[in-house]
Amino acid sequence: MSYYDYIMVGSGIAGLYTALLAKEVGSVLILTKGGIEDCNTKHAQGGIAAPIGENDSPELHFRDTINAGDGLCDSEAVRILVNEAPDRITDLIRFGVPFDTIDGEIALTREAAHSVPRILHAGGDATGEHIEVTLSRRVRMSSIQVLEYCLATEILLGNGKVKGVRALDCRTGLAEDYECRFVILATGGAGRLFKYTTNSDVATGDGIALAFQAGAEITDMEFFQFHPTAIRLPGVPPFLISEAVRGEGGILRNVEGYRFMPDYTPEAELAPRDVVARSIIYEMRKTGSDRVFLDVTHIPSHRVTTRFPHIYSFCRAHGLDITKGLIPVAPAAHYLMGGIKVNAWGETNIAGLFAAGETACTGVHGANRLASNSLLEVIVFSKRIIDRTKENDKVAPISGTVKTDCHTLIKRKGLGSVPQLNLPNLESLLWDKVGIVRSGEGLSEAADILASWQKLLPQPTDRPSYELNNMVLSARLMTEAALLREESRGAHFRTDFSQPSPDWQRHIVFKIS
């Protein structure tokens, strides 16, 4: 049996960056269920936020993040995020990430809900791809062992501590155990739960399911961020049209050409994502359409093509010249704010088990993530994970500045007759009943169907069946949390409880019974 100091599960920026730091301390194995480049990171167009500009400060970044989080941010975690940001940006530059510059200085742009320009980019709208390629190249040149097409299926425990990981070789169907001192889950989010998503196919909630089944705490699952603007064309998968397009002056128009956002909020197109996404949904219903349009034709064409080369090229490939015509868009599932509950050092409630990136919930995002804070969260807290492992093997208490309520999944009886369990039906159920606009009735129906599906699930034997099991479990956690939270806050909106309630300024935490 192979033994390592660190096992990273996942090969996005969280897994790669943490692995590169860990190799300076001990032996490292990366387990990834696809190829090393199969991840969500490379789809991150918007950039990475950091308070490094002349008119910016950690305090200003702190306030913007807290405001976006709608009362549920962990202030301690946010302080860490903004104060350590400049040093972590320096680390990325040392690794070779080619951030865009103007006259020798890093170029900064503004996105919605940021009070000043503080978004760093690489290759215009290809920031995630540049970071991913840079880090994966360094990993391949290093002593880090990478096992591709190996799906982690169980976290192995002994005496209440992490002992290792069981993984399935997706090519041979054989399972093997790998022992270690520390396991770091960096498996990404769960965007594939929804019919329309900007996520890649790998985002199936694997880390959340692994951690929950091992006894780790899962929190804030009801807070899923829907990006307001993804391409909506027949036969074309949703493609993210970055927040930065509106930050650069893009205007939203309905099918009749009317600019509607000022009717919903004084901040118009620069309102927080949840407000823009819901406004688009309401406008689509009002006009009987499945899309609205993003207009950048008033912006100089050279600025559009140089600032958004990937978006421009993608649209051109599908017959759209965005410098001359409107971009058809609609909301799509984008980012999970909740996940595996960790403290300020990335630790779970299980000794030796850590989580980083979108699968983790550090408390930084609260109820609604501030744009471009996600990549920053990865590098700040991944560094802290490795720093923590250098100290000792003890678990620090999971801190938090907001009250928590602990729950176990309700043992629902389920329904006698339910739709067939398959991926399209799961995605449609979550989109229709647990999507941008929710209701108690719809959530209850979804919860009963998911409980029935979970009882019908056969023992998984390959990657698709393991992923389906993980998605059903993640969907149950999300739906039950949304049903418990009888208010609207941040990205969670219920028609039957349409206002925030001070009684619900607390976190919902699930742990296996």
- Show which residues are catalytic: 273
- Give the H/E segment covering residue 353: strand 353-355
Token match 């194995």: residue? 29
Sheet holding 251-253, edge to edge: 224-231, 327-336, 292-295, 251-253
Q: How far apart are CA 464 and CA 462, in angstroms?
A: 6
**Residue 276 identity (one-letter amino acid):** V
Q: Which is it for strands 507-510 and 404-407: parallel, antiparallel or unpaired?
A: parallel
Q: How far apart are CA 347 and CA 18, in angstroms?
A: 14
Helices vs. strands in the chain: H and E counts, helices first: 14, 21
Question: How many residues comprise the chain?
Answer: 513
Distances (CA, A) of 487 to 219, 352, 368, 483, 506: 17, 36, 14, 10, 11
Record the tokens describing residue 230, joined without a space. 């993804």
Q: How far apart are CA 327 and CA 231, in angstroms?
A: 7
Q: Are 132 and 42 in contact (CB under 8 A)?
A: yes
Max CA separation in the chain (angstroms): 67
